[in-house]
Amino acid sequence: MTMVKIQIDGKQYEVKQGKNLLEAGLTLGIDIPHFCYHPAMGSVGACRLCAVKKFRDADDKQGRIVMSCLEPVTEGMIIETRDDTSKDFRASVVEGLMTNHPHDCPVCDEGGECHLQDMTVMTGHNYRHFDFKKRTHNNQYLGPFIAHEMNRCIQCYRCVRFYRDYAGGKDLNVFSSHNHVYFGRHEEGTLESEFSGNLVEVCPTGVFTDKTFHKHFTRKWDLSNAPSVCTGCSVGCNIIVSERYGSLRRVMNRYNGAVNGYFICDRGRFGYEFVNDEKRIRTIKIRHKKNDNQEEAENETLISLLKTELSKDKRIIGIGSPRASIESNFALSTLVGKENFYHGISKKEHLLTDTILNFMKQSSIRTPSLKQMEKADAVLVLGEDLVNTAPMVALALRQSTRNKSFETAEKNGIPSWNDAPLRELAQDEKSPLFVITSFKDSLDEIAENSIRESYDGIANLGFAMAGLLDTKAPSPSNLNKEHQNLAEKIATILKNAKNPLIVSGVHSGDERMVQAALNMAKALSSVNKNCMLSMVLPESNSMGLAMMPGKSLDDLASLEEIDTLVVLENDLYRRASEKSVNALFEKSKKVIVLDHLINKTTQRADLLLPAATFVEAEGTLVSHEGRAQRFYKALPDKEPVMESWRWIGEMIQAKEQKQEATWKRFDDLVASLTHELPVFDGLEKHMPDADFRMLNEKVPRQTLRYSGRTSMNAKVAVSETRITLDEDSPLTFSMEGQSEMPPSSLTPFYWTPGWNSVQALYGYLDEPNGSMKGGDPGIRLIEPAENDNTEYFKEMSSTSENHERELQIVPVYQIFGSEELSTKSPALAKRIKDPFIYLNPEDAKAVGVDDDELVHLEIDDNKLEIKVKIENSLPKGVVGMAKNFPEMPFVMLPGYGRFKKINS
């Protein structure tokens, strides 16, 4: 990157060429006020606030005002930000914006972290000269997530630029003109985009605020925060979780330049409320005899019971979970021994994740971070409904299609940050994206080709493309002409692209499809070294679990009898058929379950232990990329709720009749984990341990302005209680400590002088849109191998011929509904649709049902009544069925089933 020398306020700086002045200034730590510029969305020069003075040369004393966000840095540039003309100009811009801004900061949820407040202070405007009435707007109901207060709007256009241009939403727009400009929907209703929550952070004032946060509102400075990792899917977005008065208050995006950047999806942002659920398991419950009720019990009773139930002569089986941290899973594996540790996922999922993991370890193909996905210039999506299974990947792919327009713009001398002319120039020009799925996909609208096929068809296309790219790869023979042409087109484009990317995953549950994707990636890498492969996994720690030795849930069927079964944070009824899980519990003499929320599995427990959720514990999750990321406690311990690994530590202590704790603190557990399982090497080295100190002090979770310390517990006892000590991490439940620039993985909140809003983030980054200072958090555990050791998968024969009279049922995942814990959050629950099946119109006609009618479905041993949705995009003979919805029985998909109309 070439550097240019510029002079700002009389000082010489070197900045990167190609940036605009505002970016350069923010990188250097110079506070230039601005509203409409957002690092992820570029500049449009709409707000006129970032005005600075530019001088022609050293002799020019007059200078002229320019908008720093639209001014490319040039060699020898002379800039003044503090001269009176530009200062007055900026103050008058804010004054103008404030003429209609309501007098309601005290009741505004943005107050205290408001970009407008920051800018008003920064520009120095403090006295209202405008004596006339304020214009007002009516608000709209925008669904359970987002509250709307249009009076506060300052017309920066960030919301529509994010919602429409960046995230591809359709139902938020700008209406009317001059000072009547209105941002909203054409009519009241729920915002449909899966990324609508980001409006809360994007909006510089309080027009869009978090409705779930409003219900238990707390000012930013009063929150006790912790860096965390989203457990909603396998992407592993970084989040900040915030606590006040012992309950989880909100989730905000935590910047990670390599993963989620500035945004997270709505499942991650609004799916947190299950932590505060009244039905949380908060006591130890024991069932003394089979068929008795579970009764609350004391810790002593539990320990004595554990000593007998876990004695060494007993056969103990442990079932882990892909939604528990690797540490908790490892603790369980230590308790029961490797040979008795089961992953708690179905055989098929186990096989697929294993296949992918082995491929990732042995191949030389890079698994890209989200940031790298955004840089891909040709993308193929094979059989994954990304917006519902890994929403942020879909958002990244959406950005990747813009790469071509950046190229065109560069040829025309338009820098990539200059958003408006760039989009004007690009029009519909997009980098190629191919979406091959079984039903409609939100990426279709930006895809060059969207192909709808059955699973067999998708796999065949994949194999065919692999065969075209590399003759060594097996190729199907029975491809029709149309598909053959398509395969050739895609293969050629991928082959010639600079950074081609293949995205697939295991959500299809189809082995052939996964193999086809892997074959394709291998074939592509033989002709294009830059090719990338991203395989989306089902849950937040699916990858971490796969890296641990263990068997699948179905393997338990072969066991005759189990003395004690320990189930870790896992609802088995979501993983296998009811019959097989019931059989498993019946052959187990004692069942110990650790979990947060009551579900069917916890109801079968003889010993039910209250396990801490991800915001009450620390742990590490491995994302589908292979990136291990640590999450930390935001809520202090509430007896008797404990982290799962600590419960299991107590079990080991009971089992071995030891006096001292198994792992005194979290670091001991991590140390024994990396010692036992070298794949996790680096965890302890690359993440600050509990002894880490900044200038001899811990990192405070609370801001310096944290209020109410001497009063919040005064109702219980007037003398202040000691703060909860955190032995397991370098963070402290206090406002005291060293809060200035902790390591990126330990940053609990963003604040820099003058910046109280989320824009304080500038101070924590190398440059806007860059990496966190000192490197982005998390470490990649799996790097591409030097030499490719993978083999092509032999093409398997299709199995569809055996099911002539039945229809193939494929899973349909939904961002709201298919993830277990988030569905327990009241706001998110409102967005969950009723369980449904997608039927092709022809198939629907054959069954004789219409839209929204109930149909009788027989699949495996299940008989279901389910609502029909006619879906034109489905190929004939394929049925989509809502997967993993609450209250729905487990069905192994893809599968084959029979339909019957219900006569009413």
Partner 1 sequence: MFSILQTIWLTFLHLFHKAETVQYPEEKPYLAPRYRGRIVLTRDSDMNERCVACNLCAAACPVDCISLQATEDESGRRYAEFFRINFSRCIFCGFCEEACPTYAIQLIPDTEMGEYDRQNLVYEKEHLLISGQGKYHNYNFYKQAGVDMGVKGKGEGEMEEKPIDVKSLMP
Q: Which CB sits closer to partner 1, 706 or 762?
A: 706
DSSP character string of 186-253: SSS-----TTTTHHHHH-SSSSEEEHHHHTT---GGG-EEEEEE--SSTT--EEEEEEETTEEEEEEE
Q: Which CB sits closer to partner 1, 299 or 711?
A: 711
Applying CB under 8 A, which part among 7-15, 218-226, 347-355, 644-652 lies near partner 1? 218-226
Position 718 contacts partner 1 (CB under 8 A): yes
Position 454 contacts partner 1 (CB under 8 A): no
CA distances, 534 to each of 382, 694, 718, 790 (Å): 11, 37, 56, 16
Segments in 730-840 forming alpha helices (H): 826-829
Angstrom distance (rounded) from CA 392 to CA 333: 32
Residues 190 and 831 sit within 8 Å (Cβ to Cβ): yes
Residues 795 and 476 sit within 8 Å (Cβ to Cβ): yes
Nearest distance from residue 222's CB to partner 1, in Å? 6
Torsion angle (degrees, nearest 10) of CA 100, 105, 108, 110:
90
Residue-wise burial string across 553-563, b where 16 or more C-beta atoms lie within 10 A, e elsewhere: bbebeeeeebe
Angstrom distance (rounded) from CA 728 to CA 732: 10
Please work out the total of residues on this chain that contact partner 1, with binding judged by CB under 8 A: 48
Q: Which CB sits closer to partner 1, 245 or 295?
A: 245
Position 712 contacts partner 1 (CB under 8 A): yes
Alpha-carbon torsion 574, 575, 579, 580, what sign?
negative
Q: Which CB sits closer to partner 1, 222 or 510?
A: 222
Position 721 contacts partner 1 (CB under 8 A): no
Position 222 contacts partner 1 (CB under 8 A): yes
Out of 17, 85, 139, 526, which residue is the one contacting partner 1 (CB under 8 A)? 139
Nearest distance from residue 752's CB to partner 1, in Å? 18
Position 129 contacts partner 1 (CB under 8 A): no
Out of 74, 138, 603, 724, which residue is the one contacting partner 1 (CB under 8 A)? 138
User: What are the tokens at 308?
Assistant: 């007998």
Out of 76, 245, 339, 851, which residue is the one contacting partner 1 (CB under 8 A)? 245
Nearest distance from residue 736's CB to partner 1, in Å? 12
Contacts of 213 (CB under 8 A, 6+ apart): 109, 249, 250
Nearest distance from residue 781's CB to partner 1, in Å? 42
Position 103 contacts partner 1 (CB under 8 A): yes
Neighbours of 471 (CB within 10 A): 10
Give the helix/strand (H/E) hosting 583. Answer: helix 578-586
Applying CB under 8 A, which part among 146-154, 257-265, 439-447, 583-591 lies near partner 1? 146-154
Backbone φ, ψ for residue 454 (5° rounding) = -70, 170
Q: Which of residues 871-890 bind partner 1 (CB under 8 A)?
A: none
Residues 309 and 628 sit within 8 Å (Cβ to Cβ): no
Write the interaction track for partner 1 spanning residues 178-207; mark x where CB under 8 A is met and - where it is not: x-x-x-x-----------------------
User: What are the tokens at 753?
Assistant: 């002088």
Angstrom distance (rounded) from CA 791 to CA 383: 22
CA-wise closest residue to 54 among 93, 18, 83: 83
Out of 135, 288, 529, 830, which residue is the one contacting partner 1 (CB under 8 A)? 135
Q: Which CB sits closer to partner 1, 178 or 805?
A: 178
Exposure of 860 by Cβ count < 10 A (0-12 exposed, 13-18 middle, 19+ buried)? middle
Position 719 contacts partner 1 (CB under 8 A): yes
Nearest distance from residue 212's CB to partner 1, in Å? 14
Angstrom distance (rounded) from CA 735 to CA 264: 27
Position 108 contacts partner 1 (CB under 8 A): yes
Give all strands of the β-sheet with 238-244 in edge-to-edge order: 224-229, 238-244, 247-253
Out of 14, 60, 75, 104, which residue is the one contacting partner 1 (CB under 8 A)? 104
Residues 452 and 439 sit within 8 Å (Cβ to Cβ): yes
Q: Which CB sits closer to partner 1, 707 or 872?
A: 707
Position 717 contacts partner 1 (CB under 8 A): yes
Out of 5, 56, 82, 134, which residue is the one contacting partner 1 (CB under 8 A)? 134
Out of 107, 661, 725, 846, which residue is the one contacting partner 1 (CB under 8 A)? 107
Nearest distance from residue 228's CB to partner 1, in Å? 23
Exposure of 443 by Cβ count < 10 A (0-12 exposed, 13-18 middle, 19+ buried)? buried
Nearest distance from residue 38's CB to partner 1, in Å? 25
Q: Which CB sits closer to partner 1, 183 or 341?
A: 183
Applying CB under 8 A, which part among 132-140, 399-407, 542-550, 725-733 lies near partner 1? 132-140
Applying CB under 8 A, which part among 29-37, 169-177, 384-392, 421-429 lies near partner 1? 169-177
Applying CB under 8 A, which part among 271-279, 547-555, 710-718, 772-780 lies near partner 1? 710-718
Nearest distance from residue 707's CB to partner 1, in Å? 4
Q: Which CB sits closer to partner 1, 151 or 540?
A: 151
Given the DSSP bridges, would you call strands 64-67 and 51-55 parallel, antiparallel or unpaired? Answer: antiparallel
Collapsing DSSP to helix, strand or coil, 573 comes out as helix
Position 704 contacts partner 1 (CB under 8 A): no
CA-wise closest residue to 541 among 634, 642, 620: 620
Residues 596 and 611 sit within 8 Å (Cβ to Cβ): yes
Position 56 contacts partner 1 (CB under 8 A): no
Out of 217, 406, 585, 792, which residue is the one contacting partner 1 (CB under 8 A)? 217
Q: Which CB sits closer to partner 1, 174 or 351?
A: 174
Residues that bind partner 1 (CB under 8 A): 101-108, 111-112, 132-139, 149, 151-152, 175-178, 180, 182, 184, 216-219, 221-222, 245, 705-712, 714-715, 717-719
